[in-house]
Structure 1
Amino acid sequence: MARAWWAWNRPEQTARALLDAHRASPGEVRDRPAIRSIVNELAERHPRTTGVRELQAAVVSTG
């Protein structure tokens, strides 16, 4: 779902969906290059969006 939100230019929903996915299965978010790319783009383009910093820290600290 996060990929769809990202394609629709919805950063808040993207971050929320990725955080939910990370809580359910960290490896699915952390280990997939396409998903990590979305996390990096979110952090670069929308650093103040709710959840982005938490998401980036979770992916970076576990990766």
Structure 2
Amino acid sequence: MHTDMARAWWQMSKPEPAADALLHAVRASRGEVRDRPAIRQVVTDLARRHPRAAGVRELSAAVTTVR
């Protein structure tokens, strides 16, 4: 559900809610964000286009950190 919401927010050009939804997804299941290419691309795009948006740094760190 969180990844679907994140994609919807991203498509509506709402980076902060997209990052928030993805952070919820990471907390529920890191693999859902890290291992799904389409979702991983949203994270990459968020980091590239909106690096200062709330939650984007935390999200990038959570996805790239191996745990």
CA deviations 1:9-59 (Å, max 9, x no partner) are: 000000000000100111101100001100000000000001000000111
CA RMSD between the two structures: 1.1
Aligned to 1:37, which of 41, 53, 61? 41
Provide runs of 4+ in structure 1 moved above 6 Å: none
The TM-score normalised by the length of structure 1 is 0.95
- Are 1:47 and 2:51 matched, yes or no? yes
Segments of structure 1 that go 5 or more residues without pairing to the other structure are none
- Specify every segment of 5 or more residues in structure 2 that has no aligned partner in the other structure, as ranges: none
Q: What is the total number of aligned residue pairs between the two structures? A: 63
The percent identity for this pair of structures is: 65
